[in-house]
Structure 1
């Protein structure tokens, strides 16, 4: 006997009401696309946690991390929470960031924010100390550069250097009269709010809400769910 696994959408969590509302609406949209049981859990900041939700789900489980890089939460925290909940059997999909829809959406958001040819561009990332995540963020930066046909610098909002503000200042010093920030963030929150104070002429919106992101997360689930045996 086989059963389609439950989809557990794991997001970071934010204390901002709008960001939390977007997380809930994203989970609903992903569930509508997959037509599978879908639960939402938070890796940090808010409850219920990934482990708390996973412990209540019977049968097969696929955890889809709505993260833009494979950093601490995806590589260590979420697997630890699942193990503590007795759900080490759960399948964890790759993070969202490498999906083509993420980069395409970041590009569209930057254009909508008023990007002009010749602008200096900084890709704003949350920041991480994870080496593998740094490689993925470098790949995203190179991908955006290819789409724009111009160099893009990567800046961190927290925990790493150079910061977004550092990179904006560097572009000014190099002669750019206009500098814009592309957002490599999933939803509104404290990190995105900080970008308004980095000295840029325009700041792109985060990737959500966007139907393409919901479809990308659904793709992650479908690639992992085969369905799994009960």
Structure 2
């Protein structure tokens, strides 16, 4: 081998080694940029933690898991987790403790403002060590009206003279919760073109039978009950049993629910992430 050929081969080998080392250094720097000072991995977007209330009815947990699967399918690559306020595992503090990120967006799977949204969820998040942004409650929103209308259609809804709707919700002592539910009833009334009265399964009034009687006194004879619940459970079952005509299924895994969860999530993202979305 000539001296010039030997020098050429050596130079090529060094160039290849340098290229490899540069590539390794670049990849290492990229990986380190995803790790915060406390060792947690930074995600390009914070995880979405859906916060459900929890229920003793096994159908509720199954339904919520199905809804989260719809969210994952709609936003591939997003870390979507579930945490409960009570009754079901995982509880929200446990979910936050298991995150690979030091920040998260918490979206309540709750249909109106109330104690859980204002106090319980923020307090649980504050004790976690995770920088958590808590999104607004889901309602009121046109996506909910879309889901309510579709559920009524599935139950056999048809607008005829004398038709009306009772919007059956869980109930809350918080006046803002009642305001939110009333706004949803107004939006649904506009969509259906019939009167819609709110009713509550607990805490607040009127009850479903009381709302039905009120509508009957106004001359309505075909009164449907729209289940304003995120999943099956005791309250939804009790309200359904009080329906004088058709009753819709809970909102459940309706596609609009998945879109709404992502909408609430996106509204909590920093401007830099919204710009990149």
**Superposed pair shares fold, TM > 0.5:** yes
Q: How much has 1:214 moved relative to structure 2?
A: 0.8
- 1:106 equivalent in alignment to 2:148: yes
Work out which structure has the larger RCO, using CA pairs closer than 8 Å and 6 or more positions apart in sequence: 1
Q: How much has 1:225 moved relative to structure 2?
A: 2.4
Question: Which is helix-richer, 1 or 2?
Answer: 2
Q: For residue 119 of structure 2, what is the aligned residue in structure 1?
A: 76
Q: Distance in 1 between matches of 2:59 and 2:198?
A: 26
Retained in 2: the 8 A contact 1:12–1:67?
A: yes
Which is greater in Rg?
Answer: 2
Deviates more, 1:137-146 or 1:1-10: 1-10
3-state SS of 1:39 partner = strand
After superposition, the C-alpha distances for 1:23-81 in whole angstroms (9 at most, x for unaligned) are: 11212221232221111111222122112211222322111111110111111111111
Retained in 2: the 8 A contact 1:8–1:40?
A: yes
TM-score computed with the length of structure 1 as normaliser: 0.91
Aligned length: 227
Retained in 1: the 8 A contact 2:47–2:78?
A: yes
Match of 2:55 among 14, 18, 27: 14
Q: For residue 211 of structure 1, what is the aligned residue in structure 2?
A: 255
Q: For residue 39 of structure 1, what is the aligned residue in structure 2?
A: 81
3-state SS of 2:168 partner = strand
Retained in 2: the 8 A contact 1:4–1:60?
A: no
Q: How much has 1:199 moved relative to structure 2?
A: 4.0
Q: Distance in 2 between matches of 1:209 and 1:36?
A: 18
Retained in 1: the 8 A contact 2:72–2:80?
A: yes
Structure 1 alignment gaps of length 5 or more: none
- 1:94 equivalent in alignment to 2:162: no
- 1:175 equivalent in alignment to 2:175: no
Q: Distance in 2 between matches of 1:99 and 1:138?
A: 12
Structure 2 alignment gaps of length 5 or more: 1-32, 34-41
Retained in 2: the 8 A contact 1:138–1:154?
A: yes
3-state SS of 1:203 partner = coil
- 1:24 equivalent in alignment to 2:69: no
4+ runs deviating over 4 angstroms:
none
3-state SS of 1:165 partner = helix
The 5 Å alignment of 1:155-170 reads 155-170=199-214
Deviates more, 1:194-203 or 1:156-165: 194-203
Q: For residue 16 of structure 2, what is the aligned residue in structure 1?
A: none
TM-score computed with the length of structure 2 as normaliser: 0.77
